[in-house]
Amino acid sequence: MIAGIGTDIVEIQRIQDALTRLPTRFPKRLLSGPELGYWETLSKRRRAEFLAGRFAAKEAMGKALGLGLGSLHPQQISIMLGQNGLEIEWLDADSVEYSGDSWHVSISHSDTSAVAFAIWEKF
């Protein structure tokens, strides 16, 4: 059963501006350990795009939960590309209630924006 849906859009330039102001702090506040490791391998342009996509995806997931990103800690959610698309892993013990559920997340980019859509299924 679908328990919630969420969507979000982020301007990539906004993320680039945050990276300029907080080059190490901002990614550490948004990304999980596995995401941060992958992010560090990317080019400067791709880094801002990746962060914008992950920000939008985590915000969309928060909206699907009815919480928004302010009530979640972005580092507790890891969104990594797997064999069958994006794989969602909840890393924080406080979020274990969501880890058994099914999440479907899609991220897309244009030259200027990143958009994400999330569906939360409860069993």
How many residues would you count in the chain? 123
104 annotated active-site: no
Describe the chain by its helix, strand, coil percentages, rounded to 5.
Answer: 45, 30, 20
Which is catalytic among the residues 58, 63, 73, 104? 63
Task: Please enumerate in sequence order all residues whose Cβ is within 8 A of that of 97, keeping only pairs 6 or more positions apart, or say none.
Answer: none
- What dihedral angle (degrees, nearest 10) is formed by the CA atoms of 98, 99, 105, 110? 90
- 123/107 Cα distance (integer angstroms): 24
Looking at 44, 73, 109, 122, which residue is catalytic? 109
Beta strand 85-90 with 77-82: parallel, antiparallel or unpaired? Answer: antiparallel
Q: Is 44 a catalytic residue?
A: no
> Among all residues, which ones are annotated catalytic?
63, 109
